[in-house]
Structure 1
Amino acid sequence: MVRPIGILAGLGFVAVLLWSLVWGAVAFIQEPPQPTAEHEFHKHPRDAGLSSAGLLGKYDRQQLQRGFQVYKEVCAACHGLKYVAFRDLQDLGYSEAEVKAIADQWAIETPSVNPETGEAATRKNLPADNFPSPYPNEVAARAANNNALPPDLSLIAKARHDGSNYVYSLLTGYRDPSPELLREFPDSKPGQGLYHNPYFANLNIAMPPPIVSEGQVTYTDGTRPTVDQMSKDVAAFLTWTAEPKLEQRKSAGLASLVFILVFCFLAWGAYKNVWRGEPH
């Protein structure tokens, strides 16, 4: 008795699924989804041409240092790097003394506790500390940014599709809405406190253009600080914060590939030697 009931219940589920599938297909044909501004006018990221891209790509340490300088002078006022420690900067080519100086002179100090009173306090940053958030909490962050929450940038290059190119394209993508967009979708015009950027998911972003003019940052290595160059450099730096072991991962992958190829060749040779036919 149990088996027929189970079979009937299974057939019922299959029938419901088939009905839902057919009904959904009919509804899609009769009333196809309406085009949206995000679907028609959203742009895919442009290629930043970073040296870390590609199968054998490697980081350009000088570019990473320039990118850190852009982050420090432009981005750090609103965005944190909570998963990156000051001492990690040694991987970019900074000496131990330079890292100590960067941590000690960082504008935001690390939250602490006064050992004498037990009250909340702050102290100078140490190389072992992670980069402190520019805001004490989410409420303060939203209050300072018209209720928009600036995301932490530690993993932004991994959290967004094609993250390195996305960061570069977003920083260089601010512009006025096109006449075609406003004609087809009048509601897409940025409201108060919003800025049009076709590389952002819904076209309008609360972050004002952070890099606005050439020379906004003065590079110590003499590189010309154009808007495009600064955007590429900070995109490279944020790629490193998201994947600090990228070079080791690629090296390990290449070594594994070579090993597999050699192993396959040896296995094929052993097969031909062991299983070869007897001579007639």
Structure 2
Amino acid sequence: MAAAVGRICGARLLKNYGIVTPQVCQLSTGAQGWTRNRKIWLSTLGVVSGGVGALLFALEQSVQASGSEAHPPHQPWSHDGWFKSLDHASVRRGYEVYKQVCKACHSLQYIAFRNLVNVTHTEEEAKAEAADVMIKDGPDEEGNFFERPGKLSDYLPSPYPNENAARAANNGAYPPDLSLIVSGRKGGEDYIFALLTGYMEAPAGVVLREGQNYNPYFPGGAISMAQVLFDEAAEYSDGTVATASQLAKDVSTFLRWCSEPELDERRLMTIKSMGMFTLMAVVAYYFKRHKWSTMKSRKLAYKPVSKK
């Protein structure tokens, strides 16, 4: 088997010792079998890879540090870490904040009502949420479009029919879709939370145009969206006190779920995979030791042919 590996891979696992027959082959898995050129090539590849990685990291840090906006502080989110799951009570409250506050301007075009089932709502509650929305459908048999109550398969409707209507209603600013906003902004939910709670008076020397507000976490500082989260700006169905920071925390958690609806399932699968691969590694190691024990423990003796 070792000889076959050596021939196929060209790794020189087998080295021949002796000039005349009979020859004895010794198994070698050490680096002594590598050629000088191979050692130089691998060393160069390692140095270049490390240098490129360090350069990219330094450039990324320098670009981040050169921005004019403030860097959002990290918040102790309950879903931080590979083995943590989303707080689904917070995700539900975040949906309520979106529905009561954010929905007037921002869309969630990649989230369907069926995605809410067993995440924030039961199936019946999700059907009721969908039925409260009128969806434009058609054409019918006569070629006309009509409106009907929403179904679980429908996506959350946009507040505006098109981009031009959205800009006209917001002084030329286009409210972005929030489906992937957490994944699309550096800092993720930390950025969303800091942006929603970071409105303040513009410092001296900063001139804002009409309709703009100052937020140090927004690139450039001038943002067209006014502050929308205040104490009691929304009402929670579970009776949680709706402070501005609580509203920002819940809607940030909800938007994180919108960006990665499969987050909990992926982390659960990671835990299962780690357990299975650990067990497989133990079995493979034992099998390897068992199969190679004869190769590792054998003794090779050279017996010259008698010259009789």
What TM bracket, shorter-length normalisation? 0.7 to 0.9
Measure how far apart 1:192 and its partner are: 1.6
Distance 2:103 2:67 in 1: 33
What amino acid is aligned across from residue 105 of structure 1 in structure 2? Answer: D
Match of 1:199 in 2: 217
Alignment of structure 1 residues 250-261 onto 2, 5 Å: 250-261=267-278
Give the aligned partner of residue 232 of structure 2: 215
Offset of residue 44 of structure 1: 1.9
Q: Which residue of 1 aligns with 2:305?
A: none
Equivalents in 2 of 1:97, 1:206: separation in Å?
A: 38
More displaced 10-residue stretch of structure 1: 222-231 or 157-166: 157-166
Q: Which entry has the higher C-alpha Rg, 1 or 2?
A: 2
Question: The residue matched to 2:147 in structure 1 has which SS?
Answer: strand
Q: Which runs of 5+ in 2 are unaligned?
A: 1-62, 300-308
> For 1:268 and 1:117, how far apart are their aligned partners in 2?
70
Contact 2:107–2:179, Cα closer than 8 Å, also in 1: yes
Classify 1:93/1:76 alpha carbon distance in 2 versus 1 (closer, same or farther; 3 Å).
closer
How does 1:77-156 map onto structure 2 within 5 Å? Answer: 77-106=104-133, 109-113=134-138, 115=140, 117-156=142-181
Identify the residue that residue 103 of structure 2 maps to in structure 1: 76
User: What is the alpha-carbon distance in structure 2 between the residues aligned to residue 91 and residue 163 of structure 1?
Assistant: 24
In the other structure, the counterpart of 1:159 is 184
TM-score, structure 2 normalization: 0.70
Higher relative contact order (CA 8 A, sep 6+): 1
Deviation per residue, 1:10-38 (Å, 9 max, x gap): xxxxxxxxxxxxxxxxxxxxxxxxxx9x9
CA distance in 1, matches of 2:231, 2:266: 35
Greater than 6 Å deviation, 4+ residue runs: none
Cα 1:264/1:116, change in 2 over 3 Å? closer
Counterpart in the other structure of 2:297: 278
CA, structure 1 residues 97+57, in 2 after alignment: closer, same or farther (shift >3 Å)?
same
Asked whether the 8 Å contact 1:48–1:232 carries over to 2, the reply is no
Identity in percent? 37
Residues 127-163 of structure 1: CA distance to partner in whole angstroms, max 9, x if unpaired? Answer: 2110011000011000001111111111111111231
Q: For the residues of structure 2 that align with 1:248 and 1:160, how far apart are their CA atoms?
A: 23
Following superposition, the deviation at residue 116 of structure 1 comes to: 6.0
Aligned length: 235
Residue 97 of structure 1: CA displacement? 2.3
Query: Is the aligned partner of 1:248 residue 2:258?
Result: no
Q: Deviation at 1:115?
A: 2.5
Higher helix share: 1
The alpha-carbon deviation at position 40 of structure 1 amounts to: 6.0
**1:173 aligned to 2:198?**
yes
What's the CA shift for 1:59?
A: 1.6
SS at match of 1:148: coil
Q: Normalising by the residue count of structure 1, what TM-score does the alignment of the two structures yield?
A: 0.76
Between 247-256 and 127-136, the greater mean CA deviation after superposition: 247-256
